[in-house]
Structures are given as structure tokens and as C-alpha cells.
Chain A
């Protein structure tokens, strides 16, 4: 019975990336949103180390528009979010650098657009 349990765990377990890759984001990568978001939320493929996982949001001129409060969710260690100021219409870049629990650093960036009403 136990062998069966282990075997089925092996068969159905989702693959692990072992490096944290960006799984999805809110606002979505490359998307255009009508309402300016209050937070930018990034979900990764792996659990993160909060001490070394950061995200910044920059406006088109490269100025920081986040509140420098990026934090890993207490409920789900794969989710990193940062709050942003009131964003006027424009293109914004999110830069992230995260450390997965197995000590690998990954980084990247993506843009989203606030269209405004």
C-alpha cells in the first residue's frame, strides 16, 4: 500500500523547476489594464527566501513608483508582491530578483501598461 502511495506520488507530482521562474503576474506580463493596480503580485514556480527576494516597479523614465515594501506572502511562499503609488496612464516595468529555497537566484523584468479610463 505504501509502495503504491509512493508510486502514485511519483506519477502525478508536478515537475519542479528547482529555480524560481515567474509563473504568472498581476497585472499580467505585457498586459494593458484600464484601472491602475494598487499592488503588483508575482507568482513563482518555487518557494522563495523572503530575505533575498525583491521586486521594483519603474515608470517610463526609470523612476521608482513602488513603496519599497516587496514581501513574500505568509500564506504562499511562492508569491511576492509590492504596493505601488497611484499610477497615471503609462508603461511600467517590473524588475524582480528572487532567491529560491535551494539557493538559486533568478531575475527578470516585464512591462505592463495602464491605459486609464
Chain B
């Protein structure tokens, strides 16, 4: 992997993480813990990271697309004349609107739809956006659901961890973890289902998982997703029922698991950053092409 590729993976991963966090945070305050308030500084910070990483992503793509050095004219052509550029512009506007909405008490109702739309539109910037006709519609929809479900699960974990760390009321913790558990269960199911369909769209069958670069990366991602599912299942079926016990051990384990799940999730998104620049397997070919 060249230095430019490494940067591209890093800024893609940084951008995607910030966008997942924005959706998860806004979902958390609207649907999981209505008593929690949107953390304005965190939201603005995530918008800033998403925009900075997004701009770096645009610059690296512009150089790769044109084969020339970075020039304003090339950026203009990418923004004005390519699907990637159009999607980039629309999503950047949505991110700025989200940042503004977060600052205004009355604007916060708009935060969740804005965060959801900017995340879902990311589906048009990747492999799914390149198909044509009905196939394209199917691929983009599946990928958009995948992104939203990942945001609902992983993106809302920091808000849950913050609640677990700061809340003393056992009743609140019970209510919030039960509600989170319901939403994360649905989101994790959707992540896995759409992930399998996505892999099928990319021709990544059982053989390609082992024989191609794309497949091997996907396997690493899968391993960490399975670890996250294991933690989520432990939280839901073992720890949450024991929260009512007075010794507080279940709560301590829940707190630790939330952070562990976040750490695994960051690894997953880092791999996603690399998957986006790795050619998916070709039918009947066992080697990745570069």
C-alpha cells in the first residue's frame, strides 16, 4: 500500500466514523434516551472531523482521478462533473446544516433526519453507486440501510457509554439499556443481513473470502463484527437482566463492554476504509487486481 493509499484509508475511515457517530448521537437523544440532550460540542467536533476528512478524501480522489497534481480546476471538474463530486457537495451541505441545527435549540428536531440523510447518501460514493438500472437502486438501498444500521448500533454506543458512566439512578440505567438493547438488536440484525447481501453484490463468496485481498479484508471485518455481536449478546442476555442486583458488578461489566465494543467498531470502520479502495473479486478470478 502506497503512502497516498494509507492516507486515503485513514481519511475515509475518519470521515465514516464521524458520520456514524453523528447519526448515532442524534438517534440516541431522539429515540433511546429522551432525557439526554444532544452534546453540542461533540456534534460540532464530529461535523468538523467529517468535513476535514471529507475534504482530504476529495483532494486525494481528485489527484487519482485526473492523474495530475492538485489544482483548483481539477477539484472543480470533480465537483461539477462526477457522481462522487455531486454526492460530496450534497453531503457537505447536509453536514454544515447539521452543525448549525445542533447549535440552535429549535433546530435539534432537524438533526436526526439531516444526520440520517448525510449517512445514507454515502452509499452513492462507493462501489454500490457504480451499478446501473434496477441493480443500482437495489445496491444503493441495501448499502444505505447497512450504513444507517451501523450508525444506529456503533454510532450510539458513545452516548450510551456516557450515560452509563455519569448516571447514578439505577432506574434510568435500566430503562436506557433496555431501550438501547432493542434498537441495537434490530440494527445489528440489519447490519448482518445487508452485509451478506452487499458481499454477494461484490462477488465475495466463501472461496473469494480466502483467495482475494478484498475477501481477506472482509474476513477481518467479519471477525470483529462477530466479536461485537458476542459483546452485544452478553450485554443483552447476561448483564442487563442482572442490573437490578445491588452489587453493581453487572453495571461495571456493561460499562467496560460498551468501550470494548466501540474499540472493535473503530477497527471495523478502519477495515471499511481499506475495503473502499480495494477492488472486489471478479467472477472466476482468484487474484485481486490493482
CB distance from A74 to the nearest CB of B (A): 14
Of B65, B126, B132, B197, the contact of A47 (CB 8 Å cutoff): B132
Determine whether the beta carbon of B126 is less than 8 Å from that of A16: no
Determine whether the beta carbon of B82 is less than 8 Å from that of A9: no
Determine whether the beta carbon of A103 is less than 8 Å from that of B84: yes
Of A9, A17, A47, A49, the contact of B282 (CB 8 Å cutoff): A17
- Which of the segments B109-117, B198-206, B227-235 contacts the partner chain? B198-206
Determine whether the beta carbon of A101 is less than 8 Å from that of B83: yes
Q: Which residue of A lies closest to B280 (CB)?
A: A18
Q: Which residues from chain B contact A99 at a C-beta distance below 8 Å?
A: 65, 82
Determine whether the beta carbon of B282 is less than 8 Å from that of A103: no
Determine whether the beta carbon of A13 is less than 8 Å from that of B135: yes
How many residues on A have C-beta within 8 angstroms of the other chain's C-beta atoms?
Answer: 26
CB distance from A7 to the nearest CB of B (A): 10
CB distance from A28 to the nearest CB of B (A): 21
Q: Which residues from chain A contact B65 at a C-beta distance below 8 Å?
A: 49, 52, 99, 103, 105
Measured in the bound complex, the distance between the Cα atoms of B279 and A17 in whole Å is 8
**What 0/1 readout, one digit per residue, does chain B (153-173) give for beta carbons within 8 Å of chain A?**
000000000000000000000
Q: Which residues from chain A contact B125 at a C-beta distance below 8 Å?
A: 103
Measured in the bound complex, the distance between the Cα atoms of B128 and A77 in whole Å is 16
Q: Which residue of A lies closest to B81 (CB)?
A: A51
B64 within 8 A of A: yes
CB distance from A69 to the nearest CB of B (A): 17
Q: Which residue of B lies closest to A9 (CB)?
A: B138
A43 within 8 A of B: no
Q: Which residues from chain B contact A78 at a C-beta distance below 8 Å?
A: 132
Measured in the bound complex, the distance between the Cα atoms of B62 and A49 in whole Å is 13
A102 within 8 A of B: yes
A95 within 8 A of B: no
Determine whether the beta carbon of A15 is less than 8 Å from that of B282: yes
**What 0/1 readout, one digit per residue, does chain A (1-39) give for beta carbons within 8 Å of chain B?**
000001001100101111101000000000000000000
Q: Which residues from chain A contact B289 at a C-beta distance below 8 Å?
A: 19
Determine whether the beta carbon of B67 is less than 8 Å from that of A18: no
CB distance from A82 to the nearest CB of B (A): 18
Measured in the bound complex, the distance between the Cα atoms of B127 and A10 in whole Å is 16
Q: Which residues from chain B contact A85 at a C-beta distance below 8 Å?
A: none
Q: Which residues from chain A contact B135 at a C-beta distance below 8 Å?
A: 9, 13, 16
Q: Which residue of B lies closest to A52 (CB)?
A: B65
A41 within 8 A of B: no
A63 within 8 A of B: no
Determine whether the beta carbon of A9 is less than 8 Å from that of B130: no
Known: A50-B81, A102-B126, A103-B64. A19 touches B197 (CB 8 A): no
